[in-house]
Amino acid sequence: MSLVTANNLSKAYAKGELKVEALKDLNFEIEPASFVSFIGPSGSGKTTLLNLIGCLDKPTSGILMVDDTDVSGLNTRTAAAFRGKKIGFIFQDFNLVPVLTVYENVGYPLVLVQNIPSSERKQRILALLDAVGMAEQKDKYPDQISGGQKQRVAVARALVTNPKLVLADEPTANLDHKTAYMVIDIMKKMKNELGTTFIFSTHDQKIVGEAEIIYTLEDGELAGREV
């Protein structure tokens, strides 16, 4: 059974009197525990698609099912709750909370989103920090660690709630070659260990090369699928 299913999925924006069709009649299915990449030039609709799958935006038409839920009908509150339970996010700019330590950043979704008891929380956070190689840096603040380390923390934060799906928008764009590979390796390891589905939007050939399925977007349309 598919984790993500899109049927005739479209998204249009109004820019003044101009109507911009960001996504046009997309149809695809993404299976659980897969490593999927959406590629395409700037403006092709990659980020818009990730926003729709991540329940941050609503489609104009079509059906989008995520883990058997029609996410197009969720309101602000239920969408937030759905994201908190089912989806993890990794951002291009890492987006760690600067006033929280590495440990606290990873624990944030457990504390303020899922209200997990502290004993269980600690175990999960430390296990993930260990898995991403950041256990020794757990008491540092984001401004005391490097970009690659920040992204590893962000990966841990995305995975700490055991989400079925992790969405990563250009996760390696701000990382050097070596660090980017390290982060990709960690994500693959997590996918294999936890059975998490990773969906990327990227230009980065390093990620593209590691993806199991590659969808190509051009002008909001699916132009290809490679396995």
Partner 1 sequence: MFDLFKIAIRNLLRYKRRTLLTASLVTIGVVSVLVFISVSGSFKNMMIGQITDSFLGHVQIHKKGYVASIDSLPLTQNLGPNAFAKIEKAINETPGIEAYSKRIKFGGMFSNFVETTNVRLNGVYPEDEVKTVPLFLSRVKEGEKSIRTGEILVPELLAKGMKVKVGDTVVVIATNKDGSVNGKQFQVGGILESATGPGGRDGYIHIDDAAEILRMDTMEISEVAIRLRDFDELSSVFDRLKDKLSNELNKQGAPAFEVHTWEKLSPFYNIARMIDVMTFFVKLMLIAIVLISIMNVMVMAVYERIREIGTIAAIGTLPGKIVAMFLIEGFSLGFFGAVVGDILGVAVISVLNVANLTFSFGRQKGLLLSPSINLQDILVISIIVITISVIASLQPAYKASRMNPIDALRHV
In angstroms, the CA 9 to CA 64 distance is 7
The beta strands (E) that lie in 112-220 are given as 165-169, 197-202, 213-218
Minimal distance, residue 161 CB to partner 1, in Å: 8
Q: Which stretch binds partner 1 (CB under 8 A): 90-98, 187-195, 198-206, 216-224?
A: 90-98
Q: Does 88 bind partner 1 (CB under 8 A)?
A: yes
Closer residue to partner 1, CB minimum distance, 3 or 214: 3
x/- site string to partner 1, residues 172 to 201, per CB under 8 A? ------------------------------
41, amino acid identity: P
Angle at 45 between CA 44 and CA 49, to 5 degrees: 155
Asked if 97 contacts 154 with a C-beta cutoff of 8 angstroms, the reply is no
Q: Which stretch binds partner 1 (CB under 8 A): 13-21, 38-46, 104-112, 179-187?
A: 104-112
In DSSP terms, which residues pair with 102 in a beta bridge? none
Pick the closest to residue 132 from 212, 190, 208, 77 (CA basis).
190
The DSSP code for 143 is G
Strand 213-218 with 4-15, pairing: unpaired
How would you classify residue 45: left for phi > 0, otherwise alpha for psi between -120 and 50, otherwise beta? left
Closer residue to partner 1, CB minimum distance, 97 or 223: 97
Overall size of the chain counted in residues? 227
Q: Extract the tokens encoding 123.
A: 């175990």
Q: Which of 64, 87, 128, 180 lies at the binding interface for partner 1 (CB under 8 A)?
A: 87
Number of residues in contact with partner 1, rule: CB under 8 A? 31
x/- site string to partner 1, residues 135 to 164, per CB under 8 A? ----------------------xx--x---
Q: Which of 83, 138, 150, 164 lies at the binding interface for partner 1 (CB under 8 A)?
A: 83
Q: Which stretch binds partner 1 (CB under 8 A): 94-102, 125-133, 190-198, 215-223?
A: 94-102
Positions that interact with partner 1 (CB under 8 A): 51, 54, 56-57, 76-77, 80-85, 87-89, 91, 93, 95, 97-100, 108-109, 111-114, 157-158, 161
